[in-house]
Structure 1
Amino acid sequence: MKNYYILKTFCRKIFLVGSGNFWYENGEIGDDSVIYYRLFTLMLFLAYGSMTALEIMAALVGDFPEDEKSDSITFSVSHAIVMIKIFSVLLNKNLIKKLMYDMIRVCELHEKDSLMAEKYRIMKINIIAYTGTVYGSAACFVFEGLRKVYEGSHFVTVVTYYPTFTDNSVMANIIRILTTITLFVMLMSMIITVDGFTMANLIMYKYKFITLRHYFEDLRDEVERICEMGNSEMAAEKLRNGLIEGIIMHKELLRLGKEIVKAFGNVMACQLCQSSGSAVSLLLQIAVSEDLTFVASLKIIFFVAALFLLLGLFLCNAGEITYQASLLSDSIFYCGWHLFPAHLPRGCHLRKIVSIACVQAQRPPIMKAFKMLELTYATFLLVVRGTYSVFALFYAHQEK
């Protein structure tokens, strides 16, 4: 029941951060249709939307110093994409409920405790590393704001159109503190509702293929054991039934892959744009600015690291799905059909089933962004190199 526990825990945390009830079992977590919860959700998203709108206004028409203007551009682009990702998940709530039910059910009877423990450990490492990088970046923005206060300026983390740079009133400082709190809450919603949830589903789906591969390997061992006992008829029947069950599970997994793309494809596509676009802007700040402080440099480095870490986790886990699925054909081929002579009726029948299963397994699922860009290791390297190339081009232009 490890998958059940993981997904239910995620849904409970998603409910607590105000994004609604994504769990498919009624009455297990909470009711997101009651008036007080709807008001809570509305207040949160009004705060997120207002902050993002003010950031966009600051980037377009605000009058700020160079460092704050750069921060306003970076934050406005990043937070606008974050809002798109959150709403993309919320709009697919019913689809995600069904996806989770199917994710738990497929291959459930053949999941091994050791494999589930490994999956849980990998999932925790990925999410903790990403969360630490995101909040490390946010903490650096806060420290930079406190440094400005120490030097006689005002505290600022999120640069918004109001308050203006010259406004040091009590109300202006309260607004700056409130936007900082809103930023931290928004980051929590982003990590739990969108990024962490997407990552967990990708890792879980990857381990479904590993489970299925182990299923065929165990089937071969069981068939060989029965053959050694001298009961070839029983072994052939066991292999035939096992192959049919495995083919059905494989078919369900392929369908599940399409559902994952429908539910989280927009999230991964948006992250592709955010990581490449924002990274160029952030790297240029480090390269061009001459009076950048250590903390200011650190906040940019953490920000870039968080963007590329998340993109890497998305693309590498998606690429790992394709890789693990591609290994399935070998496991099917060596399932034990060769133990039965071809001239026997059952031997011929088993060869046909194995041939069909191998052909199906030789077309592994490939996650795609925008229905055309493959989400693989190669794509991640391509994005990193492309981002650096664009940065180098802009930097060379600045130097002229």
Structure 2
Amino acid sequence: MILRGKVVVEDGVIADGVVTTDGDRISWVGSAAQYHGQVPLPEPSSSILLPGLIDLHCHGGAGAGFPNTDADGARQAADHHREHGTTGLLGSLVSAGEQDLLRQARILADLVERGELLGIHLEGPFISGARCGAQDPASVIPGDPDLFERICDAARGTVRSMTLAPETAHFGELLAAMRRRDVLPSLGHTDTDAATTSARIADAAGGPLTATHLFNAMPPLHHRAPGPVAAFLAAAGRGDIVVELIADGVHLAPETVSMVFDTVGPDQIVLVSDAMAAAGVTDGDYQLGPLNVRVAHGVARLATTDGSEGAIAGGTARLLDVVRTAVVDSGIRLVDAVASATRTPARLLGLESDRGTLAPGRRADIVVTDHQLRPRGVFVGGMPAETEGLAWKS
């Protein structure tokens, strides 16, 4: 297969580039002027070619939420995100009772074993009740290493990431268990201070570490009470942590997104969707774990009985939408926004030799967009997931 367009590679953009594939692998990447293959090139196009996107934080889409749905719904959500450019996805759960977590872990494990998900992300239940956001406070509990082990066992080793508050009980035991099981720790949903956060970051030294949706579900940065935000930004600047940003135009102001990119750079940022069941479908009423969510004008919030504005309850954008918003609204360079949605998450999951860049030998996960970063075609392992007016030859 031969694809032609503006190609986003690791160190920049090839204005008129070509990507060729052989089976499920990329075989060549370069400028059209340097192409010497046997198959004639397609005509020049306005398409943009990106590596397949990798979303580390996603609760669902297309009407189905990973914390609630059955196997068919989980597959529907995963398929929706794949068809919109997310070729690698962690299915995120939320704080819930033990039996609910065990059931959903078993369901999602089936999808991981079939290659439809990269793994499971546990967002809770060992988080702060004061900063639980759109999660059920009744389901939030102190850190319980034995429960963590039971969930991992039910998931048959497919848990890849877990969000926990730095101040939760038994943090050290949980961290040791996560490292032993190759689960990426992610600090967030916290009400603690900068000193405690910095101490936990130091405890986690020697392995990958992330901060769950920086700024959201944590105390705001204040010059006399810097809180976890200051600790996370300082650690990201040192290269000790990677911070998640939900750059969807709802969770963060555009200037906040550009400030973080300017401060720590794309290698220490992972763009995420935090998408819930309403991603890709209409406004209306949905579920996020045990809680009711109302989506109006594309913004998901917890439903309230008195009609007041509830907490933001996840996102309704796909990861490609987040990349586009970062570029268009925050002025992030295309190559940097793409790196934070491809190369950086691939590195965090230990997949950098196989995914995350358009380079020979990498898996042929390729997203083709128009000049406005709207999807035209998606290839997963060299096979089309969705194709719409795409210039390519095979």
TM range (shorter): under 0.3
User: Taking structure 1 as the reference length, what is the TM-score of the superposition?
Assistant: 0.22
Between structures 1 and 2, the one with greater strand share: 2
Between structures 1 and 2, the one with greater helix share: 1
Q: If you compute each CA radius of gyration, which structure gives the higher value, 1 or 2?
A: 1
